[in-house]
């Protein structure tokens, strides 16, 4: 008879095994843990601190204050007190600015990850641990099923995922919440129950409540978790075939667009071709997630059945037939707004281009980065007619990043234009490169 999860706390020996599946790790690993103060993340912080200490490393706990509840700041101080009492370093990261009127949970989730990942990048921390557990995975499966997600989406969360500079680890993804709470109780550690987790306005809360009140209870959660795991194995097998197809069919340009061989994509097995297409637009469109299945299917059919006779848009991209293949470019209307750059601080514009403005730039000089735009292209060619000879496709040109100051266009690096004036040599040395959040070929999908 299986043990009651509530009487079976996660042990450090078990956690050691869970972490071994998330490796490799450097000597004396430095870890960051996202800690809300809830039971899942508190248990993870304590277990991770013991694991890191045994290896000569350390843990930094990061709490995001979204500014959405009046008690959030006091809760963050409470978490800091608990963790400092256990010798765990703690920082609070605040989400500032205007909050959206709708889709607040999704926006808060994106903001939280952005704050956590930026902190890790700025402090040279390679591993970010998140406290997702078994019930979270089951809820994610139900939510994605309701949205009509395909097999990739239904594989749900991965135990290990990677960005170009960060590894996101979910070592407790297969552990029931009751076992994490049992570990906290054994350690004499309190936790905070977020009242928003009871607000049935949110779809995830409704799913969670439905699963908890189901006659099936834990067995239903187990089945959903196992189903997600099986789909994860299927995704992993397909990923290898997709990577091979992309390597043969696609060429990416440093200016952030690509060409692909339409015949190769269209003649591949349907599921492989469709997924390859999703990877292409997710990469070029700088999307966090792939496109919805029904929209992707329409694009795939247009490609396969009528040779893409008319340009299409999907996932922030324009997809258009060109002589010798298909061009995929960022959609001009979807590019990010202009942002002010700070000297010495790395920036990523439009989720696609990474740069760092030198500290040598006058800090009082207001320099921004934004899309060239159609009017900008007209202005550029008026002062630099040779830009018209660029091999960059016309569809791409308005979407490329340029620098501006109070006097207008300062530099258009992809077209070799730099306005004469003081400090321009420093601007010429800026390393501006295409750096999408989702690479064309992904790392293998680890299954818990």
Backbone angles phi, psi at 417, to 5 degrees: -100, 130
Is residue 270 within 8 Å of residue 250, measured between CB atoms?
no
- Mean local confidence (pLDDT), 247-275: 95
pLDDT > 50? residue 1 = no
Three-state DSSP class for residue 312 = strand
Q: Tokens in use for 300?
A: 């795939």
370-417 pLDDT, tens digit each: 999 999 999 999 999 999 999 999 999 999 999 999 999 999 999 999
Position 357 in a domain: yes
pLDDT band at 137 (very low <50, low <70, confident <90, very high): very high
Among the candidates 185, 213, 241, a domain finishes at 213
Position 185 in a domain: yes
Regarding whether 345 and 208 lie in a shared domain, the answer is no
Among the candidates 155, 184, 213, a domain finishes at 213
pLDDT at position 291, please?
92
User: Which residues 6+ apart lie within 8 Å of 27 measured at CB?
Assistant: 55, 56
- Mean local confidence (pLDDT), 145-174: 87
pLDDT > 90? residue 69 = no
pLDDT at position 149, please?
80
pLDDT at position 7, please?
78
Position 80 in a domain: yes
Among the candidates 171, 196, 213, a domain finishes at 213
User: Which one has a higher pLDDT value, 427 or 419?
Assistant: 419
What is the value of pTM for the model shown?
A: 0.71
pLDDT > 80? residue 212 = no
Quick one: what percent of the chain has pLDDT higher than 90?
63
pLDDT > 90? residue 426 = no
Nearest by Cα to 400 from 384, 416, 385, 421: 416
Backbone angles phi, psi at 212, to 5 degrees: -65, -35
Position 397 in a domain: yes
User: Which one has a higher pLDDT value, 174 or 443?
Assistant: 174
Average pLDDT, the chain: 90
Q: Tokens in use for 202?
A: 């949110």
79-109 pLDDT, tens digit each: 999 999 999 999 999 998 777 777 787 788 8
- Mean local confidence (pLDDT), 303-316: 92
Position 145 in a domain: yes
Is residue 36 within 8 Å of residue 180, measured between CB atoms?
no
User: Which one has a higher pLDDT value, 3 or 221?
Assistant: 221
- Mean local confidence (pLDDT), 155-160: 88
Position 305 in a domain: no
9-68 pLDDT, tens digit each: 999 999 999 999 999 999 999 999 999 999 999 999 999 999 999 999 999 999 999 888
Position 279 in a domain: no
**How many domains does the structure of the chain reveal?**
2
List b or e across 316-345, with b for residues whose CB sees 16 or more CB atoms inside 10 angstroms: bbbbbbeeebbbbbbbbebbbeeeebeeee
pLDDT band at 216 (very low <50, low <70, confident <90, very high): low
- Mean local confidence (pLDDT), 221-246: 87
pLDDT > 60? residue 2 = no
Cis peptide before 24 (omega within 30 of 0): yes
Position 392 in a domain: yes
Regarding whether 186 and 39 lie in a shared domain, the answer is yes
How many helices (H) and strands (E) the chain has is answered by 14, 19
Regarding whether 209 and 72 lie in a shared domain, the answer is yes
- Mean local confidence (pLDDT), 234-261: 92
pLDDT band at 287 (very low <50, low <70, confident <90, very high): very high
CB-count burial class (<10 Å; 0-12, 13-18, 19+) for 441:
middle
Q: Which domain holds residue 141?
A: 5-213
Q: What is the CATH number of the domain that holds 57?
A: 3.40.50.620
């Amino acid at each position: 008879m299986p043990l009651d999860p509530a009487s079976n706390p996660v042990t450090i020996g078990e956690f050691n095994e869970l972490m071994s599946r998330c490796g490799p790790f450097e000597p004396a690993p430095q870890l960051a843990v996202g800690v809300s103060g809830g039971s899942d993340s508190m248990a993870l912080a304590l277990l991770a601190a013991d694991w890191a200490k045994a290896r000569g490393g350390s843990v930094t706990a990061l709490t995001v204050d979204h500014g959405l509840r009046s008690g959030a700041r006091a809760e963050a101080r409470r978490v800091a007190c608990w963790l400092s009492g256990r010798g765990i370093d703690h920082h609070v990261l605040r989400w500032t600015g205007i909050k959206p009127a709708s889709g607040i949970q999704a926006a808060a989730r994106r903001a939280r990850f952005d704050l956590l990942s930026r902190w890790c990048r700025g402090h040279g921390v390679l591993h970010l641990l998140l406290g997702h557990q078994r019930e979270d995975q089951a809820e994610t499966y139900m939510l994605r099923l309701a949205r009509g997600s395909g097999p990739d989406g239904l594989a749900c969360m991965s135990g290990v995922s990677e960005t170009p500079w960060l590894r996101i680890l979910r070592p407790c993804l297969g552990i029931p919440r009751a076992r994490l709470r049992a570990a906290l109780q054994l350690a004499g550690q309190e936790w905070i129950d977020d009242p928003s987790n009871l607000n049935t306005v949110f779809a995830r809360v409704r799913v969670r409540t439905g699963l908890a009140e189901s006659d099936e209870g834990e067995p239903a959660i187990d089945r959903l978790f196992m189903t997600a795991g099986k789909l994860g194995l299927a995704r992993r097998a397909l990923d290898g075939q997709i990577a091979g197809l992309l390597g043969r069919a696609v060429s990416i340009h440093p200016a952030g667009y690509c060409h692909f061989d339409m015949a190769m994509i269209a003649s591949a097995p349907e599921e492989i071709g469709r997924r390859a297409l999703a990877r292409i637009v997710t990469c070029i469109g700088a999307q966090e997630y792939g496109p919805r299945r029904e929209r992707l299917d329409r694009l795939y059919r247009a490609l396969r059945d009528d040779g893409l006779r008319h340009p299409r848009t999907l996932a922030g991209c324009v997809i258009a037939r060109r002589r010798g293949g298909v061009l995929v470019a960022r959609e001009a209307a979807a590019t990010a707004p202009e942002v002010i750059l700070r000297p010495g601080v790395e920036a990523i514009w439009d989720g696609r281009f990474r740069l760092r403005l030198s500290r040598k730039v006058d800090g009082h000089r207001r320099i921004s980065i934004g899309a060239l735009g159609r009017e900008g292209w007209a202005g550029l060619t008026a002062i630099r007619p040779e830009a018209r000879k660029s091999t960059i496709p016309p569809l791409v040109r308005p979407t490329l990043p340029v620098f501006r100051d109070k006097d207008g266009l300062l530099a258009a690096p992809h077209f070799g234009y730099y306005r004469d004036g003081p400090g321009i040599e420093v601007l010429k040395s800026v390393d501006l490169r295409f750096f999408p959040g989702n690479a064309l070929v992904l790392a293998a999908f680890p299954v818990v």
